[in-house]
Amino acid sequence: MSAERPILPPVRLHSEAELARDALAAPLLARAVRLARWAGPGTRVGAGGELVEAQLPAAAEHLGLAADEDGAAEASEAWRLAVDTGLVDVHDPEGDDAGDDAEGTVSAGENLGLLTGGSPQDVLTIWLDGLEAVHADATAPVFDDFADLVGEDGSIDFDSLDWDPEAEAEFLDGVLGNLYLLTVGDGSEGEASVPLPALAASMIVPDEMGEPTDDILEQVSEAMMRLDDQFRLLEPIGIVAYRPVDETLLAEEGEEAQPPADDEDVSRYGMVRLTPLGLYGIRARMLEAGVDAPAIGDLVDKGADTLLGGIAYYPEAAARTEVEQWL
């Protein structure tokens, strides 16, 4: 029986032990761990589990961050990840008279112990939860004044943002999928960077189009700036290495950086590459979504017929490695 042709070429992943070390070294998760260990009975949180504002300076100081709004924002981001990944458990305020403004408390979460005493797979599972949380943040709407979104009845009017959460998530997943394909397809396995304009164009410019129109170029510019913000959020969780858009371009050309001309330094418009941990994380998300994303070593415990059918469409080098591992 012939094997079904896979959608993607096989990826060569690092070992789980190496990937777990990379996950623990990711700046955002490392900060979340430090805050989870710092937290104690006196740590106070709001109704959503966020650190109360009065505790942010101490949290930022513990992380060695600047004592300003940026430091407080980074500390808040790390704390949210600690909550989202189960490194801390949030307890609601006690008492029948506890209102919406009442403060809760926290304690160490079960997952905090797994990061040091668990298996590499335990670490990667927690990191994947963190990646999911950061991905959600990267596709969340951006607004200047939250109060403008709250109606008279207290509900939030997301329609006024012209924001489609599914479309936003699909766009980012499409970009990450294209970056994965470019990385695996050229055999670089995370060593080569891709220009941000090329990634944006891969999602906007139709395949059959020759010279892009002004309208298409404007859409590519808008996509570039959206991706610039998103990759800045994704880098601290460890899936990409990112060189942001040169801010002088924004000052030179207005609010948006235009796609580079042929004679311009494309690196000024942003460069991104998937890390080995990023390859693992994006593949895991693809598998969860039902995408056929093979990895070298998948067939080592299969029968000979499955092996031969599976490598039928592999590139020569990948097929040779798969067979060597199987033998």
User: How far is 266 from 260, CA to CA, in rounded Å?
Assistant: 6
User: How far is 288 from 139, CA to CA, in rounded Å?
Assistant: 19
Confidence of residue 97 (pLDDT cuts 50, 70, 90): very low
The predicted-structure confidence for 224-252, as pLDDT tens digits, reads as follows 889 999 999 999 999 999 999 887 776 55
Confidence of residue 164 (pLDDT cuts 50, 70, 90): confident
State the average pLDDT for the chain: 82
Q: Which residues of 135-157 are buried (b: 16+ CB within 10 A; e: fewer)?
A: beebbeeeeeeeeeeeeeeeeee
* Distance in angstroms between the alpha carbons of the first and the last residue of the chain: 22
- Cβ 29 vs Cβ 134: under 8 Å: no
pLDDT value for 2: 40
The predicted-structure confidence for 200-215, as pLDDT tens digits, reads as follows 888 888 777 777 778 8
pLDDT value for 92: 77
pLDDT value for 107: 87
For 52, which DSSP code?
A: P
The predicted-structure confidence for 243-297, as pLDDT tens digits, reads as follows 998 877 765 555 566 666 655 677 888 899 999 999 999 999 999 999 888 887 7
Alpha-helical segments (H) within the chain = 16-25, 27-38, 56-62, 69-84, 110-117, 120-138, 165-185, 196-204, 214-234, 247-253, 276-288, 304-310, 316-326
